[in-house]
Every structure is written in structure tokens, then in C-alpha cells.
Structure 1
Amino acid sequence: PSATSATKSATPSATSVTKSAATLHFEVEDTGSGIAPEEIDTLFEAFRQTETGRKSAEGTGLGLAITRKFVQLMGGTITVSSVLGEGTVFKFDIKITEADAPEIIAKPLRQVVGLEPNQGSYRLLVVDDTKENRLLLVKLLEPMGFEVREAENGAECVAVWESWQPHLIFMDTRMPVMDGLEATQAIRVREAQQQNSARPRTIIIALTASAFEERRGEILATGSDDFVRKPFTEEVFFEKIREYLGLRYIYEDLPQSTTVCRRAKGIDQKSDSFFLAELTAMPQPWLKSLYQAANELNEDLVFELIQQIPNTKAPLSEALMDLLSDFRLDVIVRLTQSLMNDS
């Protein structure tokens, strides 16, 4: 079946199934400007763009050529139909074979609740030009027993590093005055000048919103020990600290996610008015994190963010968990997007 209601949508369906094989049919339809008939024949050629594509000054004309090659490698053929001024539909079929589902071994869930005793104190510096981002990390770290300080730019970070000697720095890469990479370089230069002192080397973990792998080399080349992409889960965050400082945590076992059980039940979805009223009272940084996690289909992080909702708002927590259990991340995206400030 084709998808016709959304601006851009994709719908796979099994059109014929036997015990060992099936055919999957895909359609992708948009409601854009359409493609002129005379451009259809050259649409899948490398480095060819439609008139609309050339005017937008985006892309290279390789996307559809690569798409066709992928479909061919899977044994299919992609076709296109378009009405100028209305939109375009791409279709292809591929053959698939049944496979035995692997056994899923449940991973025990546990949460860091503190530091084991008799380990000394650990000083952590959080550097970010956005106050809300710093606050989230501080609230995550201080209850665990860490000593935490903040800096809002690279220059301030270097000054705090000089006077306070943190064991580890979480460094945002993009900041005014002096960015995170410049601050990291400055600290490494000063450490080299002080190499004969008893001062230990500070661990620096960069925090970046960039999804490009090329940034990894650039970040590590400046002297960072590691980097974490935003948004990140609490589990990843604490694991990085454990890995580099060699500390030991106290853990609390969590109940297995109720997602599977909930998905087996019928779910009564709350109204938009309920969600909007409840979500309006939640902090903007949390809303933005929830939106980003849902938009990236990161179920684990969405689950973790829902767990952060106070007990006083249990109905909201349960309703969001129902949406997650029913794979309705699209609803979470829509609701949170409508409530986020532009700031």
C-alpha cells in the first residue's frame, strides 16, 4: 500500500509470503513540486539534478544513483512516477527469506546511585556556555558524591583548571570567547610546561553535537582523551568517568523494562490536551532532550528521560511510557516540538 497522508512517507508491506520467502514492496511518496516528464529518463544518472534541485543549490545529484544501486544489489528495480506540481512516488520490490529469530538475552538493568566508600574525592569540571546544560550535568553528578564546578567558556575553564586542579573535565566544543578545543590545547600546553611537577594529568572528555566521524580526529588531535556525542545516556556518561578515573560505583538494580509487557496490552492514549498541560510544567532542557532522543529514535534515552520525571507527575510518566511502548515516538516528537522555546 502507498502512503498518501504525509508530506514524505515510506510504507513497506509484504505482498506475498511463503514459509521460506517473501516479497517486500516499498513506496515513498512526497507532496513536493514534482518532476517534469522530460527529466524522468535521466533522474537516476549520476550527477544529474532536476530543475528544482539545481535551484535549491543543495545536493550533488548522486543520491538517487546510489539508491538505485543499493536496490539493484538487493535484487530489486526502483521505478518513479510523478505529477508536476503535485509530487513524486518511488517504488521497488525486493525478495527476502525468513530467518530464525536469535535468542534475546535480557541485559540486567542497573543504575549508578553513588560512589563506593574509601576512594577519596573526585573533582569534576563542567564546561558549557548554556546554563541549562551545565545544570543538568551538575544535578547528575553532585548527588553521586562528586565535587563539581562550572565554567561557561574555555577561558574560564582554563582559569578554574589552574586554581582547582580537576581530575576530569567535560568540555563542550562550541563556546564563545574560547571554544572547547582551544581550551583543551591551552591546558595541554600548560601541563607540558609543568611536567616536572607532581600535578596529575587532567582527563578531558569533549561533548559534541556533531554527528560527523571526521570530528573525532579533530577533537582527539587537540588533546581530548575521548568524546561523547549529544544527547547521551546517563549510562554512557557514568561509564566514561569510571573508565578514565578507575573509580567504583554503587549500583541499584532496576526492574526490567516493562516495554515488552506493555506492548502486549491495549494502550489508551491520553489526549493532546493532557500531554500539553503536563509537559508545559517540565524544564525546557528536559523537553529538548526528550524531543531530540525521540526524533533520533533513541528508545533507551527516551526511557531514561521518562524515569527522571518526578513522582508527583506519575500520570505523565505512565502516559509517556505507554507511547514509548507503542512505538509512538512520532507523537512524542510532535508534542515536545510544539512546546520548545526558540532559545
Structure 2
Amino acid sequence: MIDQTERTPEQTRDRGGLSVTQQALDAQTALLPYALAVFSVSLPAYVWAGSHAENAVWMSGTFAIFAAAWGAFYAVVNWLKRPEARTDLAMRGRIQIFSGLLWAAAVAQMSAFADGAGLAREPLLLMSLAAAIVVIFFAASWLPSLLILGSAAVAGPLFFLFSRPETRELANIAWGAVALALALALIVNRILRSQFALAVEREVLIADRAGMVDAANKLARSKSDLVATLSHEIRNGLTGVAHVLSAAVGHNGRSAPSREQLAAALDAANDLISVLNTTLDSETAEAGRLSVDTRPFDPVALIRDLVLLNRPNASAKALEINLHVSPELAMADRGAAIADVHRARQILANLLGNALKFTVRGRVEARIELAGSGRLAIEIADTGPGLATDELDRAFEPFHRIERTSAGTSGAGLGLSLSRQLARLMGGELTGHSAVGVGSCFRLELPYDINALPDRDGQAAEAAAPIAVERRALRVLIAEDDALNAAMLRAVIEQLGHQVVHAIDGRRAVDLSKVCEFDLLMIDGRMPNMDGPATIAAIRALDGSMRRVPIVAVIGGDATEAMECTQAGADAVLRKPVSVAAVARAVADAIAVERDEPQIRVVA
């Protein structure tokens, strides 16, 4: 059950569409026309009884007051039917109480007239009391209205009944009738509030169900798009790589592949890795599990490095690529962007890569400037084909590629959507504007502190590839049951200049650690016979120097797997798929860790 007492009416209305207060006011509004009808039907009886009163002028004034109250009440009823009357519950509640007070005042005036009506005094006072009980009935749906209007309506008749000794007994009976009417009205109000709360709960459940259905549909569409995109990109890329590898091993009597074919296969493999990494990041961000590590960094140095890295690609396409730094940033000796330098590099690399990919002739420009108090703007502009407004909107949607401009190019259609998600995670924003036939400009805004000093060491480590490690050749033991993953990891480690010994599972890794000396262990997180955490724990329990050997856990990306490995004693965590830079960084982090004061690092 949903506890309605823990949610304000506004919060309930936002989630379920109707609040208890609004439903109570709606119920009272629905009863108001019947109140008019009741008072109209009762008027002839009151006129007949009042005709026996001694003061005819006062009787006429009473009728005039009754007619004025009836007219004002009729106007209020009509106003409450309008749509604008439903928007402000506080105003609506005040107006409904005010309109009820009109009838309470009319009843009080009728009671005052009845007190001086001679022989008609008692019948008229009882009719006034009946009118007050009618007010109680029609105010029962909303508790504030019931308490205020009920008390105000019965005050006049009871006062005049108790004011004379000859009607004291009748007053006691009237007081009992009023108490019974109020008690019944409170019971009705309690029942109605329970019904209103159930209706609110039903509305909330319906809204939640609709939200879950929308989320499920969105997830289904996302998974369908994911499968379609990956199947297309992976099928095409792997087919090309397979053809080259087939030629390399001499299948079908073909000659060895040329350097150009090997380069094409390498490009296809790198494209596949890029697509997979982007897809995984996008799915992780969509699930809300993507985190950023914000710290001050030098944005000018970052964009300058990226422009230099992309200059050969621009030259190969005969494109001009330039960087424009605003004077206030070029001259400043302080100030830093406050964001995750790795993710900022990822966004800007994607924007520059897109600009170079889709621009056939002309130039690509990167501009960096301050965009107001506490904000920094980096713009990437090109002279490419440009996008229409609807095309630009679709370009920011996951798995959407613009067919007019994307023909013949690889990609999953996730770069811009992921970049926007990353920018928002860092407190920034990514926007774009474009014109067909003119070009496009994408603008990344990030938080900026003019007094901060950039973390240049961390930024340099981020930009460096490969990372500097121990110059001496290390003896590295890798424990990996998958032959392909083991071959890839061995190739990368040997490329870094180290010696490798391969163990096919965790148990074999423990046995080798007992009889051999290694400088570094790289343990897969998930293996048969003995998994990664168990292997790491067993090695840490050994006697001798091997219990203090640096260990890198190689995992598939699961946060639980990473936590299990670090708790078992891993010094660093390396996520698959591995790259030269990532392996070098993981090795450097593991070697640098002191066993007495471990500092766990996770390397993507």
C-alpha cells in the first residue's frame, strides 16, 4: 500500500493525476447544483411560514437577502465548472468556503428574523436549523469546509433557540440533532477520504504501470536497435578481417595479403572495437551506471592535443584543421575546466572525428572560449554537408544515423547521444546547429573555475599512450582460460617488452606461483576450476615473496566482479577488451602500489 500521509497533495497530483483534496473539492462542486435545488424547493415552505410573521418589511428583506445569496451562489457554481478553476486548489477552496459562508450568513439572518416572528418563531427557527443541517450535508465531502461551514451555519438557529426559556427544551433537542448530523457528516467524510485515497493510489499505480510499460517499450526498441546495429557492423567488419586472415594462412590458394589489405583489416578491427566500446558505454549510461571522475584539467591543452592528433587525418583528405583560443584563455595562468578529462577527451574526439569523417572539402575548426560565469565552451565547426533541423534532432537519438550523410561510413549511431549523456553527467551540455550545404557546429559547455589549478599530472597521464612503465623486462604470469583473450593479452604485454607465462586456469596459476618468481600477475576474473577472486586470495595466502607480487585483475566490466577481485587482493583492475595503453597503465599502477598501502585503480 502507498502511504498517502507521506506525500503532499501536489506530489500526489503530479504522480497520479488527482489529489485527495482535489477529489474532495470535485465532489463538493458536483453537489452544489443540488444545494441550489434544495434551497429553491424549500423556499415556498419558508415563504408560507414567514407570511404569518408580524414584520412584513423584514420578511421582504429576508427574501431579498435569500435571492442575493442564491444568485451569488449560482455564479460561483458556474465559475467552478470552468477549466481554469481546477488549476489553483487553494483559490478554489477559499471560493467554495466563501460561497458556503453566504448560505451560513443567510441562515443566520433567517434565524434573526424568525426570533421576532411572533407565533411563527418556533417553526421558522426549526426551518432555519434544517437549512443549517442542509449546509452540513453539502459540506461533508471536504473536511475544512465541513468544520467551518457547519459551525457557522448552526450557530444562528441554536443561539436564538437557547436565548429564550420557553424554547430551551426544544433547543436541547435541536442541539442533539445538530450533533447527530455533524457526527454522520464526519463519518461520511471519513469514508469519502478513504475512497479518495484509494482513487489516488489507483491513479499512481496506473501512472507507474504506464511508466514501466514505456520504459519496457523503450528498452525493447533499444535492444532491437542494438542487435540490428551490432549485427550489421560486426558482420561487415568481421567478414573483411576473416578474408584477410584467410589469405594470410594460405586458404583457397590465395597469395599472402598485401600491406594495404592488412591495414584495411586493422582499420576494420579498430572500427569494431570503437563501435563496441561506444555501445557498451551508451548502454551503461542508459542504465544509470556510468560514473564520471570530475577534477580540474587544462581544456586548452586537451583540445590542442586532439587537433594535433587529427591533423594527419585532415591532411590525408586535403582538409584544413585549425584551433582558435580566446585571448582570455590564452593569456590566463590559472583556471581549469571541472570535469572528467577522460570523458571530455572522448566527447571532443568523437566530435572532431565526425567533422573529419563527413567533411569532403573545406576545413574543420575548433574554438574554445569562456561562455559566461563559471562556464567554458568548446565548439567544433565544419564545412560538411550539414543537417536539416529534423535531421539534427534525430542525430542526437541513439542508433539513428542520417542516411543522406552516413552512406559508406561505419558507426553505430551512438556517438552524439552518448556524448550528450556524458556532458550532462559532468554538469555540462552538448548542443548543435547546422545548415544543409553549409556545415555543422557542435558546442560543448563544461563547468569552469577561473581560480582552479589544473591537474596537469593526471591530464598528462591521460593523454600519454602508451604509459611509461618499468624499463626492465618483467616476468608476467597471465591466467586466462580463453585462448583468444590469452593470445591478445600476451601480444600486448610482449609488445611492451615483457616476458609472458600462460596458465590456463586459476589452479595452475597458483601452482606456478609456488615454484616460480614473477614480477607481475594478470588474473582473469572468471575462470573454471578456480575463479579470479579465489586465485588472487590463494596467492595472497602463500608464504614468501610471491604473496606480495603485484596483481592485475582482468575483468569483463561487471562492477561486482571488480569488487570481488579487489577485496581478494588485486592491486589494479583492467577491463576487457584490452588495449596497449590500458595494459600499460594497469601494469604501471600495479607496479607502483606498495603492499602496505594498497590503492586500487580501475583501468577502462
TM-score over 0.5 for the pair: no
Which is bigger in relative contact order (C-alpha 8 A, separation at least 6)?
A: 1
Q: Write 1 or 2 for the structure with the bigger share of helix.
A: 2
- Scaled by the length of structure 1, what TM-score is found? 0.37
Q: Write 1 or 2 for the structure with the bigger share of strand.
A: 1
- Scaled by the length of structure 2, what TM-score is found? 0.24
Q: Please identify the structure whose Cα radius of gyration is greater.
A: 2
